[in-house]
Amino acid sequence: MGAVAAVIAYGVKLLRDKTGVDVQAQVLAIEAAHRDALHSAAETAANLALGEITKGASSSAAISTGLSWLETGASDAIKFFNLDPSSLETLVQSKLAGLLGVAAPTVAPAPTVGAKS
């Protein structure tokens, strides 16, 4: 596996040297664009959920409405980050909690790559 990584790294270096294209910077820019789109869509979903709550909907129904919008509005970002429905629900709940000024739900931090458990 290490040899494959070395070959890929060498190929990326050759590409950058020959074309001036910085692949790593482009990957980071794509990731940032997806992250921004996801959080913007989650904020819109939370605002939609808040609107539903003010109309008398239950919080679970309101969040469900927001989730439906989020899944449509940020589908590329959701696929890019491989997010499951539970993560999306937590994201909308967190954004909604921020709008309401209450404590947001928490999730366990992602494990550090290479960390020993």
> Domain containing 81: what range?
22-100
Q: How confident is the model at residue 54 (pLDDT cuts 50, 70, 90)?
A: very high
- Please tell me which residue, 88 or 106, carries the higher pLDDT value: 88
- 111 found inside a domain: no
**Number of domains composing the chain:** 1
User: Collapsing DSSP states into helix, strand and coil, what is residue 100?
Assistant: helix
Is 10 inside a domain boundary? no
Q: How confident is the model at residue 56 (pLDDT cuts 50, 70, 90)?
A: very high
Do the domain assignments include residue 2? no
| Amino acid 115: pLDDT | 47
Does residue 4 fall inside a structural domain?
no
Give the pLDDT of residue 109.
56
pLDDT digits (tens, 9 = 90+) for 6-41: 767 777 677 677 776 666 777 888 899 999 999 999
**What residues contact 14, with CB distance under 8 A and at least 6 apart?**
none
- Is 113 part of a structural domain of the chain? no
Phi and psi, residue 107, nearest 5°: -130, 155
Give the residue from 54, 44, 57 showing the smallest Cα distance to 92. Answer: 44
Q: Outline where DSSP puts E strands in 1-117.
A: none
43 located within any domain: yes
Task: Quote the CA–CA distance of 67 and 73 in Å, as a whole number.
Answer: 10
Q: Which residue, 43, 19, 39, is CA-closest to 31? A: 39
| Contacts for 46 with CB less than 8 Å, ≥ 6 apart | 66, 92, 95, 96, 98, 99
Q: Answer yes or no: is pLDDT of 61 > 50.
A: yes
The pLDDT confidence band at residue 95, using thresholds 50, 70 and 90, is very high
Which residue has 């790559």 as its token pair? 113
pLDDT band at 60 (very low <50, low <70, confident <90, very high): very high
